[in-house]
């Protein structure tokens, strides 16, 4: 091995060792591209599958679904899920334009999740409603043991054949730079047909 080869080997060894020693500092300074950052929101039926959701609903009978959130944002996130209830004419959120429904939340869940962590909760609910002729009035929603006054009315839907309402969940994410929660453009729902007492 010549002296020039030895100098070259020594120089590469020093650079390699220097990079190893500095790698924790470089990892903080140099941000490598990450994958897509997003949150998940889902609702599953009573058998914990994406099927058999409650639809034909009787008054004062208990139903259940599973609500879940997944964090793929790259760090710890603070979520809020609003529970809302609407008839066919009440506004839904507009996820395309990032606008939540202007309905008042009936209940909320707050969750802290680390990156790649999921949260899931069994949601039990029932309704108190009356049907008079072609009008259905839902007076109360009981969800997770909380009795909530809703006072929602809808008429008979000739096309679909029922009195239809929607129980839906909006996902909100805490934005530390504002600081406040913002609608995360995600919501899930189940349709409910209040035709049997």
Phi, psi dihedral angles at 113 (to 5 degrees): -135, 135
CB 39 within 8 A of CB 71: yes
Between 29 and 67, residue with greater pLDDT: 67
Cα–Cα–Cα angle for 66, 75, 25, nearest 5°? 160
Closest C-alpha to 194, from 160, 171, 169, 144: 160
Residue 145 burial by Cβ neighbours in a 10 Å radius (0-12, 13-18, 19+): exposed
pLDDT at residue 32 is higher than 60: no
Residues 112-133 have pLDDT tens digits of: 999 999 999 999 999 999 999 9
Give the model's pLDDT for residue 19. 64
- Tokens for 43, please give them: 């609702």
Cβ contact 174:79 at 8 Å: yes
3-state DSSP assignment of residue 160: coil
User: With contact defined as beta carbons under 8 Å apart, do 160 and 154 qualify?
Assistant: no
Residue 12 has pLDDT above 90, yes or no: no
Tens digit of each residue's pLDDT (9 = 90 or more) over 68-107: 999 999 999 999 999 999 998 999 998 789 899 999 999 9
What is the reported pLDDT for 11?
A: 72
Whole-number pLDDT of residue 96: 85
Per-residue model confidence (pLDDT) at position 20 = 72
Q: In the structure encoding, which two tokens stand for residue 69, read together?
A: 């959130």
d(CA 154, CA 165): 8
Where is pLDDT greater, at 14 or 174? 174
> For a pLDDT cut of 90, what percent of the chain falls above it?
74
pLDDT digits (tens, 9 = 90+) for 135-147: 999 999 999 999 9
Element (H, E) at 10: helix 3-29
Round to whole Å and give the CA distance between 41 and 68.
Answer: 6
């Amino acid at each position: 091995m010549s002296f020039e080869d030895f100098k070259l080997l020594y120089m590469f060894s020093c650079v390699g060792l220097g990079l190893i020693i500095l790698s924790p500092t470089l990892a903080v300074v140099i941000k490598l591209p990450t994958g897509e950052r997003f949150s998940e929101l889902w609702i599953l039926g009573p058998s914990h599958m994406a099927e058999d959701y409650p639809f034909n609903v009787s008054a004062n009978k208990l139903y259940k679904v599973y609500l879940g959130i997944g964090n793929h944002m790259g760090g710890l996130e603070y979520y809020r899920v609003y529970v809302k209830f609407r008839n066919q004419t009440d506004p839904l959120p507009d996820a395309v334009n990032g606008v939540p429904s202007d309905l008042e939340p009936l209940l909320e869940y707050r969750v802290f999740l680390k990156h790649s962590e999921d949260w899931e909760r069994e949601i039990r609910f029932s309704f108190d409603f009356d049907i008079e002729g072609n009008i259905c009035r839902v007076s109360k929603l009981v969800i997770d043991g909380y009795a909530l006054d809703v006072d929602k009315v809808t008429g008979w839907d000739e096309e679909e054949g029922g009195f239809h309402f929607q129980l839906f969940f909006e996902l909100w994410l805490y934005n530390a730079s504002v600081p406040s929660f913002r609608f995360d453009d995600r919501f899930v729902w189940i349709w409910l047909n209040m035709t049997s007492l």
